[in-house]
Amino acid sequence: MEKKYFEDYSMGEVFVSPGRTITETDIVLFSAFTGDWHELHTNVEFAAKSPFKERIAHGFLGLVVGSALIFRLGRHVLLPESFIAFYGMDSVRFVGPVKIGDTLHSEVTVTELTAKDGKRGIIGHENEIKNQRGESVIVYNTKILAGRKPSGS
Amino acid sequence: MEKKYFEDYSMGEVFVSPGRTITETDIVLFSAFTGDWHELHTNVEFAAKSPFKERIAHGFLGLVVGSALIFRLGRHVLLPESFIAFYGMDSVRFVGPVKIGDTLHSEVTVTELTAKDGKRGIIGHENEIKNQRGESVIVYNTKILAGRKPSGS
Amino acid sequence: MEKKYFEDYSMGEVFVSPGRTITETDIVLFSAFTGDWHELHTNVEFAAKSPFKERIAHGFLGLVVGSALIFRLGRHVLLPESFIAFYGMDSVRFVGPVKIGDTLHSEVTVTELTAKDGKRGIIGHENEIKNQRGESVIVYNTKILAGRKPSGS
Amino acid sequence: MEKKYFEDYSMGEVFVSPGRTITETDIVLFSAFTGDWHELHTNVEFAAKSPFKERIAHGFLGLVVGSALIFRLGRHVLLPESFIAFYGMDSVRFVGPVKIGDTLHSEVTVTELTAKDGKRGIIGHENEIKNQRGESVIVYNTKILAGRKPSGS
Amino acid sequence: MEKKYFEDYSMGEVFVSPGRTITETDIVLFSAFTGDWHELHTNVEFAAKSPFKERIAHGFLGLVVGSALIFRLGRHVLLPESFIAFYGMDSVRFVGPVKIGDTLHSEVTVTELTAKDGKRGIIGHENEIKNQRGESVIVYNTKILAGRKPSGS
Amino acid sequence: MEKKYFEDYSMGEVFVSPGRTITETDIVLFSAFTGDWHELHTNVEFAAKSPFKERIAHGFLGLVVGSALIFRLGRHVLLPESFIAFYGMDSVRFVGPVKIGDTLHSEVTVTELTAKDGKRGIIGHENEIKNQRGESVIVYNTKILAGRKPSGS
């Protein structure tokens, strides 16, 4: 498998991940790990009286599960071996609820390719986490710093 | 415990959470939950050759653990009972590594208080997740929508 | 948040926790953690022939989950910052089954306030863990040792 | 394996379990499951300033892990197939700290054998959870209701 | 409890374990632990289109859970205190699916007893993991090395 | 990503996975999940007196973690989209201990390519799970059934 560099991506290129169904187990595990047991996620009586009528997943649960799905294509696909750093996220919006039994997948589009210097380049991504009906539930933008292809290679 | 509303917050008010030490266990559990087993987090041989010289926590691990710490003050402190929705995050930046044994806490400052209408108001927060040396490791901005105090109450 | 002392509690004061629904996941996790996979909790065929007709949660599961719920009010509410030691429990009784889907909450009543010396006092609690129908499922008594308010404060 | 009844136990009989080392992982898992992240258990900086100088396990962690160890001898040893109900616990005392790396085992002594009627009998146990130095860390009394041997068998 | 040796087993002897119901939680936990989130196990949409029409457990999940069930009879029953080593497995076959809600138990038959030398003997087992309808789902052969009874004992 | 078929593999082709360090956490989690708390894996006092002088991982832990590592190259690499069934394992041998802190990776060699009929073919693999010193710790053979390339494609 040859090493992948900044130059190996193209604007508008889209990566689509496999899917994962969000289960009651996931909600319990995420509540436990983070300590965030808000009753909207973990109390069926409370949730029945909420606008959603049932327990929904934490927004951050959808974010961390959904964002990692893309790496199932193989680490090298989105995060090249020349990966240097993850800049951060902007405009993270939780645009729809994730219910127990919903199946999430991730769609990542290359939206920026900016050479930083001769050795490094910035790759920008628009990330959409979608459910089984194709509805976006979380959207956000990310940027990573990756190595550029050595000249002559 | 009386209900807390939009009006019960003031600009510049700071909330400081208790702390939680990030353990090797946390990294294994988060890798497992998300499926993100990047070797920088989970392979001691690989990590020893990285700029950090050792395994570091996932940025998202620090984010979801750190952000939930503030609720240990009691749910009502930051997320009032009149809470309606979580808007999202902006300018999420991973500004320092989280190493095994680091102890994180969260500092949240009220930076925006905008009445949306007679019944609801937007509360903006600047969030800093810091380690035991007081160094920021993750910073981000959030906004929530909360209920306004009923007139006459 | 000002420090809370022995003197800040009053006889008969009642604390009511938020609720948490007990899930199949909780039973699997508790069985795994303790190693107690008794078939009444983990084998649907076996449990169908039991007096309960279905799997029920371990008594200790209800105890450790239910007892911790009270701290969601904020650690300082029941366990003041002046907390010194937890004495133990008496008369722990498992008075009703906890089934999958039941939602537990905890009600804690201050039943004893005994000054031990000038610096420390004993606070006794009657603890009731109840389900969504208000039925007690576990009851027990506890005592903690807490610091007394410094004179002049 | 023949069925075990009330009559198959004798006063003063002692059962000794295998041991299990309490790990940092156990403390993280128990904190997560119960939601009790008290800093004495989960914050190394906080714990270093406590009387114990280091993180200690939750009392309830020691109780639920220690009490289940006895079942590793085989379920039938202590909890006979004729088991009917678990009455509860009395005089639960947390008499010593459990530190990371301590190895717990359980010693259970038969202290009561009271026939309730022709079909059922009460078996009382004194339970001691001890560490690798033989020091008791948790002690408590329990009673179970078990079936009596059918006459003629 | 007296020590059990190679000589204490007999050809054709059968050990039958208690049962454990395989839950959605088990599938999530096993996917998480191993990192094998194959959609046949974790995506309800994908699985609905598979020959099984629903999610099934990983073959290895059934193997590791099923094989451990036999130790619930008490460690000494199958794995005597004179246990020296586990040789390995042969002819591991996944002969039927394990679905959510299926209850597995293990049946182990002694199929080989070969003295290796004066101190050690090989014990061979045919292992069948079966569901609640008595159908084999996984079969495999194993061998262990155990101590022989000291002469004169 | 184009679909991969039986014909896309070649005899002797080797796939090498990324690595994962086996932690104390992994041993606790696997003990918990399977219920196999054998003291060689979970009791530091017991293990110190064993031939290994310290706790070692369960053989099955190494097997299920090691075998799944290969899928991190991307599911399609070893398990093509035309995958039909997993036959099973033969000659599974646990040839060396896995200690806490060891880093495992997997090397899989294509050792058999047999067309079963016009639509399906058997792919045989020799699997070696190795530690950070390149020592094999578990070896086994597997076979899968995969779809053949449609004629004309």
A68 close to E (CB below 8 A): no
Q: Does D31 touch chain F (CB under 8 A)?
A: no
Backbone angles phi, psi at C51, to 5 degrees: -60, -25
- Asked if F38 and E80 count as a contact pair (C-beta separation under 8 A), the reply is no
| Residue D75 confidence class, pLDDT cut points 50, 70, 90 | low
> What's the gap in Å between the CA of A25 and the closest CA on chain E?
6
With a cut of 70, say whether residue D153 has pLDDT above it.
Answer: no
The interface predicted TM-score (ipTM) is: 0.91
| Average confidence score pLDDT of chain D | 93
- Which residues of chain B make contact with A26, given a CB cutoff of 8 A? 33
Please list every residue in chain C whose beta carbon sits closer than 8 Å to the beta carbon of residue D94.
Answer: 86-88
The CA distance from B128 to C13, in Å, is 37
Interhelix angle A24-34/B24-34, rounded to 10 degrees, is 160
Q: How many structural domains does chain E have?
A: 1
From the list C44, A26, A68, F34, the residue with the least C-alpha distance to E24 is A26
Question: What CATH number corresponds to the domain at position D68?
Answer: 3.10.129.10
Q: Which residues of A88-117 are buried (b: 16+ CB within 10 A; e: fewer)?
A: bbbebbbebbbebebbbbbbbebbebeeee
Q: Is A110 in contact with A124 (CB distance < 8 Å)?
A: yes
Q: How many helices and strands, by DSSP H and E, does chain D display? A: 5, 6
Against chain A, the chains showing at least 3 CB pairs within 8 Å are B, C, D, E, F
Q: Does A25 touch chain E (CB under 8 A)?
A: yes
- E26 at C interface, C-beta within 8 A: yes
Q: Do E42 and A26 touch (CB under 8 A)?
A: no
State the CB neighbour count (10 A cutoff) for residue B52.
12
- Would you call E73 an interface residue with chain D, using a CB distance cutoff of 8 Å? yes
Nearest CA in chain D to E76: D73
- Chain D residue with the nearest C-alpha to that of F28: D25
- State mean pLDDT over A87-96: 94
User: What whole-number percentage of chain C has pLDDT above 70?
Assistant: 95
d(CA F88, CA E139): 10
C33 contacts in chain F (CB < 8 Å): 32
Residues 6+ apart with CB under 8 A from E150: none
Look up residue A111 and give its two tokens. Answer: 């939206």
* Per-residue confidence (pLDDT) for residue C86, from 0 to 100: 82
Q: Which residues, in sequence order, are bridge partners of residue C15? A: C108
Sign of the dihedral through C-alpha C55, C60, C62, C65: negative
Cβ-proximal residues to E42 (8 Å cutoff; 6+ apart), any chain: A20, A21, E27, E28, E31, E55
Instruction: Count the residues in chain C.
Output: 153
Give tens-digit pLDDT for D100-115. 999 999 999 999 999 9
Question: Touching check for A72 and chain B: CB below 8 Å?
Answer: yes
Q: What is the DSSP letter of A150?
A: P
Q: Confirm or reject contact between E32 and chain B (CB < 8 A).
A: yes
Tell whether the model's pLDDT for residue E41 goes beyond 80.
yes
- Compute the average pLDDT of residues F121-133: 97
d(CA B12, CA E112): 76
Is residue F152 a part of any domain in this protein? no
F88 and chain A in contact, CB less than 8 A: no
Mean pLDDT of A6-34: 97
**Mean pLDDT across chain A, nearest whole number?**
93
* Range with lowest mean pLDDT among A142-146, C136-140, D127-131: A142-146
Task: Let me know if residue B1 belongs to a domain.
Answer: no
Residue B1 pLDDT: 47
Confidence (pLDDT) at F152: 63
Indicate yes or no: CB of A33 within 8 angstroms of CB of B35: no
Whether residue A111 is contained in a domain is answered as yes
Does residue B130 sit within a domain? Answer: yes
pLDDT, tens digit only, all 153 positions of chain B: 467 889 999 999 999 999 999 999 999 999 999 999 999 999 999 999 999 999 999 999 999 999 999 988 876 677 777 788 888 999 999 999 999 999 999 999 999 999 999 999 999 999 999 999 999 999 999 999 999 998 765
Cα separation, D11 vs E109, in Å, equals 37
The interface residues of chain F toward chain B in range 118-137, judged by CB-CB distance below 8 A, are 132
Q: How far is CA F124 from CA C61, E139, F105, F112, in A?
A: 46, 20, 19, 4
Q: Rounded to 5 degrees, what angle do the CA atoms F61, B41, A149 make?
A: 120
User: What are the chain A neighbours of B34 within 8 Å (beta carbons)?
Assistant: 64-65, 67-68
How far apart are the CA of E68 and the nearest CA of chain F, in angstroms? 6
For residue A122, being part of any structural domain is answered with yes
Instruction: Band the pLDDT of E153: cuts 50, 70, 90.
Output: low
Q: Which of C34, C68, C89 is facing D64, going by the closest CB pair? A: C34
Q: What is the pLDDT of residue B30?
A: 98
Q: Flag whether residue F28 sits within 8 Å of chain D, measured between CB atoms.
A: yes
Partners of D37 on chain B (C-beta within 8 Å) are: 18, 20, 72
Q: Residue A106's closest CA among A114, A117, A98?
A: A98
E135 or C4, greater pLDDT? E135
pLDDT one-digit tens code per residue, A58-68:
999 999 999 99
Look up residue E97 and give its amino acid: P
Instruction: Tell me: pLDDT of A1 over 70.
Output: no
Residue-wise burial string across C27-51, b where 16 or more C-beta atoms lie within 10 A, e elsewhere: bbbbbbbbbbbbbbbbbbebbeeee
Q: Using one digit for the tens of pLDDT, what is the confidence trace for E110-132?
A: 999 999 999 999 999 999 999 99
Cβ-contact E88, F94 below 8 angstroms: yes
- Nearest Cα of chain A lies from the Cα of F75 at a distance, in angstroms, of 7
Residue of F nearest to C33 (CA): F32
Residue B35 near chain E (CB below 8 Å): yes
- Say whether pLDDT at D4 is over 60: yes
Q: Compute the mean pLDDT over every residue in chain E, rounded to the nearest whole number.
A: 93
pLDDT of residue C147: 92
Q: Which of A135-139, B94-98, C60-64, D147-151 comes out lowest in average pLDDT?
A: D147-151
pLDDT of F66 over the 90 cut? yes
* Spatial separation of the C-alpha atoms in residues F127 and F14, rounded to whole Å: 10
| Whether pLDDT at F142 is above 60 | yes
Average pLDDT, chain F: 93
* Shortest CA distance from B38: residue in chain E: E35
CB contact under 8 A, C60 and D67: yes
State the smallest CA–CA distance between residue C25 and chain E in angstroms. Answer: 6
**B45 has a chain F CB within 8 A of its CB:** yes
Whether residue A77 is predicted with pLDDT greater than 80 in this model: the reply is no
A137 CB-near residues (< 8 Å, 6+ apart): A62, A66, A94, A95, A96, A97, A98, A102, A104, A129, A130, A131
- C43-64 pLDDT, tens digit per residue, is 999 999 999 999 999 999 999 9
Closest Cβ opposite residue D23 in set F28, F39, F46: F28
Residue E152, domain member (yes or no): no
Residue of B nearest to E35 (CA): B35
Nearest CA in chain C to F34: C32
- Nearest-CA distance B23 → chain F (Å): 10
Using a CB-CB cut-off of 8 Å, the residues of chain A touching C103 are: 43-45
Q: Do A68 and B34 touch (CB under 8 A)?
A: yes
- 8 Å CB contact of D32 and A35: yes
Higher pLDDT, D1 or C108: C108
A72 touches chain F (CB under 8 A): yes
Confidence of residue F75 (pLDDT cuts 50, 70, 90): low
Mean pLDDT of A121-143: 97
Distances in Å between the Cα of A134 and the Cα atoms of A56, A103, E49 are 18, 10, 18
F25 lies within 8 A of chain A by CB: no
**pLDDT, tens only, C88-130:** 999 999 999 999 999 999 999 999 999 999 999 999 999 999 9
DSSP labels, B73-126: G-HHHHS-TTEEEEEEEEEEEE-S--BTT-EEEEEEEEEEEEE-SSSEEEEEEE
For position A25, what pLDDT does the model report?
A: 98
With contact defined as 3+ CB pairs under 8 Å, the chains touching D are A, B, C, E, F
Rounded CA-CA distance C114/C107 in Å is 21
Q: Say whether pLDDT at F153 is over 60.
A: no
CA distance F153 to F135: 42
Length, in residues, of chain F: 153
Q: What is the pTM of this model?
A: 0.95
Residue ranges of the alpha helices (H) in E18-58?
Answer: 24-34, 39-42, 44-48
Using the beta-carbon criterion (under 8 Å), do B21 and D42 form an inter-chain contact? yes
Nearest C-alpha of chain F: how many angstroms from D115? 34
Give the model's confidence band at E22: pLDDT under 50 very low, under 70 low, under 90 confident, else very high. very high
Q: Are D18 and D33 in contact (CB under 8 A)?
A: no
| Percent of chain A clearing pLDDT 90 (strictly above) | 82
CB A66, CB A21: distance < 8 Å: no
Average pLDDT for C35-48:
96
Q: Does D88 touch chain E (CB under 8 A)?
A: no
Chain C touched by B73 (CB under 8 Å):
yes
Is F153 a member of any domain? Answer: no
Task: State the residue range of the domain holding F15.
Answer: 6-147
Has residue C118 been placed in a domain?
Answer: yes
